[in-house]
């Protein structure tokens, strides 16, 4: 049996209590929502918090509010996100991405907030303790070197959330509540390209909700590359949202990639290519090629690096074509 390290589960009923507990225990405490990412990681000793603050019981995190777009509580389960009719209609990429996360059980347990904060991944790191130890620990946990690129000053573990790139494509705002204040930041500012400090979130801050602007007239698509039809993390994700006028001229476009670096990447240059034009397959190819320049996959997930790099333009172009055609 894989054992969890000893810890204590704290179950606050309100956000205020949760923040208070975090203040009290500081670095010794971590938040958890569904626990589907954190528990397996703890079993591998990637995290050893003494206290877990369960956000699951906090009612206000599980609300969905439809007003000038939509506001989705961070505690809403992925299953709900995937099957919510309004999200399916107006934010198709998001319902698709949520529905493609792992397996049915996990989508019932895992939350949108947890998914957006999910730990970065790397074959050297997602291993149990004795293995990491025998190889020598890496800088993400317990060590000071990166086995993927020894000269790298930072960890290159991969952002592996399905929903994160979608948030970039849909211009989401993340609402964070900390002991000091509540603030709203853009999705792309929430992430940073550093495998260890992959979130620009202060440790005490709780992601409380995600706000998506009104998107009528937009089409959005999410495409995920993985080996099997279920369970697997994305090896690559491509999220697109576009708005065309009646003549098929592209008014607006956003393309974002997941699992290509330690943060989801917004491919602005690629989408700019489409603006004001009627995208045909050549133009889509060109945009996709532009996007692929941003991808810097490393040899630290499933499937080899060269392959993953090649797939970026294929996926970007498929996602764009589908969004434009629909």
Partner 1 sequence: MEVETASKTIRFKLNGQACSIASNPVTRTSDVLREELGLTGTKVGCDAGDCGACTILIDGEQRFACLTAAGQLEGCDVQTVEGLAKDGKLSPLQQAFHRYGAAQCGICTPGMLMAAQSLLNVKPSPSREEVEDALGGVLCRCTGYSKIVAAVLEASGTETQELPADADSGFGSRTRKVDGEPKLLGTEIYGADTAPDDSLWMRVVRSPHPRATFVLPSPEKIIEENPGLMRILTWQDVPGNNGFGIYPHIKDQPVLAKDQVRYRGEAVAALIGDRKSIEAVTDDDLGIEWVPQDAIESYESALEGKISPVQEIHEDNLLARGFLKKGDAESVYEQSLIKAQGSWETSYVEHAYIEPEAGYAVKRGQRLELFVSTQTPYMDRDEVAQVLGIGPDQVRIIPSAVGGGFGGKLDCSVQPLLAVAAWILEKPIRCTFTRPESLASSTKRHPAKMKASASCDKDGSLTSLSFEGDFNTGAYASWGPTVADRVPIHCSGPYFVPNILAKTRALLTNGPPSGAFRGFGVPQSAIAHEALMDSLAEQTGIDQLEFRLKNALRKGQKTGSGQLLENSVGQAECLEALQSRWQEWRKASEEFNNHSEIIKRGVGIGCCWYGCGNTSMSNPSTMRVGINSEGTITLYNGAMDIGQGANTIMIQICAEALGLPASSFQFIMGDTDLTADAGKTSASRQAFVSGRASQLAGEHLRTQIIHLAEAEEDANLRLDGRTLWVQDKNGEHSILLSDLLPRTNGDVLVGEGTFDPPTTKLDENGQGSPYATYGFGAHIAEVEVDLKLGTTRVLRLAAAHDVGKTVNPTQVEGQIQGGVAQGLGMALMEEYVQGVTENLHDYLIPTVGDMPDIEILLIEDPEPLGPFGAKGIGEHALIPTAPAILGGIRQATGVSIHRIPATPDRVLQAIQQKGMQA
- Give residues 48-107 in contact with ligand SF4 (rule: CB under 6 A): none
Are 252 and 242 in contact by the 8 Å Cβ rule? The answer is: yes
For ligand SF4, the binding residue among 49, 99, 110, 195 (CB under 6 A) is: 195
Q: How many helices (H) and strands (E) does the chain have?
A: 13, 12
Applying CB under 8 A, the span of 8-16, 143-151, 156-164, 255-263 interacting with partner 1 comes to: 8-16
Measure the CA dihedral 53/59/60/66, to 10°.
130
From ligand FAD, partner 1, ligand SF4, none, interface partner of 26 (C-beta below 5 to 8 A by class): none
- 39 contacts partner 1 (rule: CB under 8 A): yes
Nearer to ligand SF4 by C-beta: 47 or 147? 147
Nearer to ligand SF4 by C-beta: 150 or 228? 150
For ligand FAD, the binding residue among 37, 79, 188, 290 (CB under 6 A) is: 37
Mask of contacts with partner 1, 303-322, x by CB under 8 A? xx-xx--xx--x--------
- 126 contacts partner 1 (rule: CB under 8 A): yes
For partner 1, the binding residue among 28, 180, 214, 272 (CB under 8 A) is: 28
Cα 154 to Cα 20, 66, 114, 148, 216: the distances in Å are: 32, 40, 24, 10, 40
**How distant is the alpha carbon of residue 232 from its chain centre?**
14
Which ranges constitute the DSSP H helices of the chain?
15-25, 38-43, 78-83, 85-90, 92-100, 104-109, 112-116, 129-135, 163-169, 187-190, 268-272, 281-292, 305-325
Q: Using the 8-state DSSP alphabet, how is residue 121 labeled? A: B
Q: Which of these, 294, 214, 219, lies nearest to 251 by C-alpha position? A: 219
Q: List residues near partner 1 by CB under 8 A.
A: 1-4, 6-9, 11, 28, 35-36, 39-40, 43, 50-52, 54, 56, 79, 102-106, 108-109, 123, 126-131, 133-135, 225, 227-232, 302-304, 306-307, 310-311, 314
Q: List residues near ligand SF4 by CB under 6 A.
A: 122, 124-125, 138-140, 146-148, 155-157, 195, 300
């Amino acid at each position: 049996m894989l054992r969890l390290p000893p810890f204590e589960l704290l179950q606050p009923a309100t956000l205020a209590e949760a923040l208070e507990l975090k203040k009290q225990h500081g670095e010794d405490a971590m938040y958890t929502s569904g626990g589907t990412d954190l528990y397996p990681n703890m079993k591998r000793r990637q995290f050893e918090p003494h206290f877990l603050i369960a956000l699951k019981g906090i009612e206000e995190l599980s609300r969905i509010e439809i007003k000038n777009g939509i506001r989705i509580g961070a505690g809403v389960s992925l299953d709900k996100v995937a099957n919510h009719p309004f999200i399916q209609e107006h934010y198709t990429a998001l319902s698709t991405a949520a529905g493609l996360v792992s397996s049915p059980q996990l989508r019932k347990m895992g939350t949108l907030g947890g998914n957006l904060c999910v730990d970065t991944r790397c074959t050297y790191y997602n291993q149990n303790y004795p293995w990491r130890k025998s190889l020598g620990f890496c800088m993400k946990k317990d060590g000071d070197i990166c086995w993927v690129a020894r000269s790298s000053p930072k960890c290159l573990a991969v952002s592996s959330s399905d929903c994160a790139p979608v948030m970039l494509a849909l211009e989401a705002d993340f609402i964070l509540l900390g002991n000091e204040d509540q603030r709203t930041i853009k999705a792309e500012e929430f992430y940073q390209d550093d495998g260890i400090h992959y979130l620009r979130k202060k440790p005490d801050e709780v992601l409380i909700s995600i706000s998506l602007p009104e998107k009528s007239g937009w089409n959005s698509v999410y495409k995920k590359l993985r080996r099997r039809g279920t369970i697997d993390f994305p090896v690559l994700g491509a999220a697109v949202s576009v708005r065309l006028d009646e003549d098929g001229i592209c008014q607006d476009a956003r393309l974002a990639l997941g699992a290509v670096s330690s943060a989801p990447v917004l491919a602005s240059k690629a989408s700019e290519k489409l603006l004001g034009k009627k995208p045909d397959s050549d133009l889509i190819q060109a945009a996709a090629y532009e996007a692929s320049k941003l991808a810097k996959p490393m040899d630290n997930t499933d499937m080899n690096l060269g392959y993953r790099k090649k797939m970026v333009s294929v996926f970007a172009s498929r996602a764009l074509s589908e969004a434009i055609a629909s």
